[in-house]
Structure 1
Amino acid sequence: MSTLVGDFQAFLGSSQVTTNETVLELHSKDESYHTPVNPEIVVFPRNADEISKIMHVAKKHDRPVYPFGLGSSLEGLVIPTSDGICIDFSEMNAILDVKQDDMLVTVQPGVTRTQLNKELKKYGLFFSVDPGADATIGGMAATNASGTSSVRYGIMRDKVRDLEVVLADGSIIHTGNRAAKSSSGYHLNGLFVGSEGTLGCFSEITLEVNGIPEQIVAGRAEFSTIDDAVNAVVSILHAGIPIARCELVDEPSIEKVNQFSDTNYALTPTLFLELHGNEAGLEQDLTFTKEIVRDFGCEEIEFELDTAARNKLWEARHTLAYAFTHSTPGKKMMVTDVCVPISSLASAIKHARQLVDDSGFEGGIAGHVGDGNYHILLMINPEDPDDIRKAQALNEEIVEFALEAGGTCTGEHGVGIGKQKYQKKEHGEAFFVMEKIKQALDPDSRLNPMKLIQVKE
């Protein structure tokens, strides 16, 4: 009788199959607070045909399959829910084709964001989606990632032109093409992007990329209240200023930034801004932006043209999570995100800030205010059931507020385990359509089961 390991070794090299306990443990968790669970085996495919064969072996042995990129997800997306097969895409990390004239690139799913942009720079191009972590492109597509630059360039779903996907039955399909638009067929790109590995495994991804701007200017604007900061952003957007990044960081978070990044920013609600364009256009945009923010009581605004100064500013924003972690030894960060209509953003952030203050947790709030997406960072003791209970209750209040405002339970982190319970409330009758899609494409519920859409037996 064949064994699971033996069947994999029949077509994968010995280095591509492991049951080593240390490797299993590495694949048992992500960056979230959810309880780790070891997979039964980890396999490292190198192409779509090998993924297809993995699916056939999984069916033969009746095992679930869990796709894994770098484990940087924040809602338990990659954590196994029972013994099963973890597919690690780290050996599928080739940049396959750069079509400079079409401004397209095709990559394997294990390529990281930094790796991709390093290669694209040779062609005067860059990939705009920036979730902060150096995640894999496959993971970013699986969660419909966005980040700081989505206000101008769009989110992952806007950038994916085509996917090669291995389905649960081992068949290999393409969901799109290289054309800039199409009126043909169902929009399968939109279906698979954000599906969190529950409908298929990505083996190739074709992305739209952008030309590197002639000039980039970054800056900070300090306000006395969150209301003023958010209202200034709304006015900037209404004015048609091509803002590329627009981040809000609250006072407690600025304090952590100063401690960790050796900065001396004022302890006030602060906007981190970035504009892209040419020299003449940017000069006008900067003047207009300064006028707008001063109308909303901006106390201080300064911009940086120098690359090193810009990088330091954005490094301070991107390392906010590490700033909290380093200042609170023995605690683990619970990060949650929601997204609301921008008209509700100020009240939503104030509501979240009050909840954090009342909870007694140390925490901060930062948001992609240009698109209504904000994050709550809480420092909790993962070994303390009372801490977990209180944090989950706080998270639930934040999500309920977002849903009541016409928003969503997650703007970019994904559903995974942590946000699954809100799916039916958020989507209503459409939830049952999602169940039918899952049942049609994965009738045995083999792909990343118990995530996103949990189909009842």
Structure 2
Amino acid sequence: MGLATELERAVPAGRILTDEKELQRRAGGFFTHHLPRLPEVVVVPESKDEVASVLRYASENGIPVTPFGAGSSLEGHTTPVEGGISLDLNGLNNIVEVRPDDFIARVEGGVTRGKLNAALEEHGLFFPVDPGWDATIGGMVGTNASGTNAVRYGVMRDQVLGLEVVLADGSTMHTGGLSMKSSAGYNLTGLFVGSEGTLGVFTEVTLRLYPVPESIRAARAVFPSVEAAARVAVALIQSGMNIGRVELVDARTVEAVNAYRGTDYPVAPTLFLEFSGSEPSVEHDVEVAGRVSSTEGCKGFDFETDEAGRERLWETRHQAGTAVARLNPDKRPMTTDVCVPVSRLPGALVEARKTIDCYGVDGAILGHVGDGNYHAVFPVDAEDPEDFAKAEAVNAEIVAYALARGGTCTGEHGIGSGKAKYLQEEHGDSLDFMRGIKALADPKGIMNPGKVIPL
């Protein structure tokens, strides 16, 4: 019997997919330069028990399993490089429990951040991690997602209080709990966050929630250079003000957004800012931000107070990556991200721009610069060895600059298959320990093989 037929013992036949279009949809992530690879079959479980049954069968038969959420990863995380089963977790989409008095929610792994925040509105609460895509919570846990709110609220690892994890052999593990902190034993929750589907499948996640701020204002500030914009971003962070978001886009990104959305923003490096808190504190912070921006030749400082205006502004920022990709529709976008100490940010952005220009690549720079994290996006023909080698060289130089200054090869996108080669330089003395953890959790190497640390 074929694999699909065998899997009917674990999941009803209607949720075992072999249609070419369904396989293609799980063959790789969106907006990524990594070439797709078809799975043999797509399985859409709707419960923890079904996930366990699929993994138990896969383990017994040595079949690779690649977890799949919204497919928005950029470093090949969801590409089933060895075929096998694409485990689509969108069927696990129930909000199990909201505990507003405890600022906690329990959700299944396939719930999207948009669905969760819609359910939280009536409680005056929200979940802050915003990677710019309506990603699944399980996928966000898997990559330790970050995004525009990270400068104030932190990354995904800071929000996860507990996990229900189905391991490679089909057994289930629970980590953490409902308390805001614990000193009991090893921090297994933190270990699983960022494991990119290589250690297990997240079927339920316990999350920390936050009250919606009393007052929110969003601003857009235009500068004569990327370095000037970055210096202002650093100054705002160092001022201690309660700033919620600090996002930077360079002139090429603005040009792309104007072409994509039909807007007429000044084609110059721009900071997108958001301030939140009490009304008096927000007014004070906006005033201070305007003064600080003026010291670096700010050409315009405009802000939005109503929700519709803020949404338009942030939609522009969130669609920047798509807009840049559309500049070269015949190629795939290579999107690298690194993170440096905040004080090193201005120099890092200048150097990234020099590197891109030196190689003659049509690249753009943008990012969550409030915590030192930025992205460079450039087009590449992944099937043209010369073009691919040029893009890889740009990527390598940007990463090398960050590592030499105590930064990291990825601040939020994760390792996947695209950045595994940089782990040796960044974490060489701990790779054997990581391999030991992988071997313990997944001795047969079936969980998302070829990603992070291959056995």
Name the TM tier (shorter chain): over 0.9
Q: Deviation string for 1:278-330 (max 9, x for gaps)?
A: 21221112122222222333232121112222111111111112222333332
Whether 1:359 aligns to 2:362 is no
Q: Gaps (5+ residues) in structure 1? A: none
Match in the other structure for 2:218: 218
Q: Which amino acid aligns with 2:13?
A: S
Q: Which amino acid aligns with 1:164?
A: E
Q: Which amino acid aligns with 1:33?
A: H
Q: Take 1:306 and 1:198, find their aligned partners in 2: how far apart are those partners?
A: 43
Whether 1:191 aligns to 2:191 is yes
Give the share of equivalent positions with the same residue, in percent: 47
Q: Which amino acid aligns with 2:12?
A: G
Deviation at residue 107 of structure 1 after TM alignment: 0.8
Match in the other structure for 2:381: 381
Deviation at residue 147 of structure 1 after TM alignment: 0.4
Match in the other structure for 1:238: 238
Q: Take 2:170 and 2:411, find their aligned partners in 1: how far apart are those partners?
A: 31
Secondary structure in structure 1 of the residue aligned to 2:377: strand
Q: Take 2:325 and 2:62, find their aligned partners in 1: how far apart are those partners?
A: 40
Q: Take 1:53 and 1:210, find their aligned partners in 2: how far apart are those partners?
A: 36
Whether 1:178 aligns to 2:181 is no
8 Å CA contact 1:4, 1:57 repeated in 2: no
Secondary structure in structure 2 of the residue aligned to 1:256: helix
Q: Which amino acid aligns with 2:384?
A: D
Moved more, 190-199 or 22-31: 22-31
Match in the other structure for 1:441: 441
Q: Which amino acid aligns with 1:23?
A: E
Moved more, 251-260 or 346-355: 251-260
8 Å CA contact 1:4, 1:61 repeated in 2: no
Match in the other structure for 2:78: 78
Secondary structure in structure 1 of the residue aligned to 2:176: coil
Match in the other structure for 1:9: 8
Secondary structure in structure 2 of the residue aligned to 1:274: strand
Moved more, 120-129 or 149-158: 120-129
Match in the other structure for 1:23: 22
Q: Take 1:176 and 1:214, find their aligned partners in 2: how far apart are those partners?
A: 31
Deviation at residue 3 of structure 1 after TM alignment: 4.7
Q: Take 1:239 and 1:350, find their aligned partners in 2: how far apart are those partners?
A: 23
Match in the other structure for 2:453: 453
Match in the other structure for 2:289: 289
Q: Take 2:217 and 2:83, find their aligned partners in 1: how far apart are those partners?
A: 50
Secondary structure in structure 1 of the residue aligned to 2:54: helix
8 Å CA contact 2:82, 2:449 repeated in 1: no
Describe how 1:53-202 pairs up with structure 2 within 5 A.
53-202=53-202
Q: Gaps (5+ residues) in structure 2? A: none
Moved more, 71-80 or 283-292: 283-292
Describe how 1:404-443 pairs up with structure 2 within 5 A.
404-443=404-443
Q: Take 1:383 and 1:48, find their aligned partners in 2: how far apart are those partners?
A: 39
Q: Which amino acid aligns with 1:298?
A: C
Q: Take 1:26 and 1:237, find their aligned partners in 2: how far apart are those partners?
A: 40
8 Å CA contact 1:361, 1:380 repeated in 2: no
Q: Take 1:362 and 1:441, find their aligned partners in 2: how far apart are those partners?
A: 42
8 Å CA contact 1:131, 1:145 repeated in 2: yes
Moved over 4 A (4+): none
Deviation at residue 380 of structure 1 after TM alignment: 2.4
Q: Deviation string for 1:209-249 (max 9, x for gaps)?
A: 11111111001112222222222222212221111000111
8 Å CA contact 1:234, 1:342 repeated in 2: yes
Aligned residues: 454
Relative to the length of structure 1, the TM-score reads: 0.96
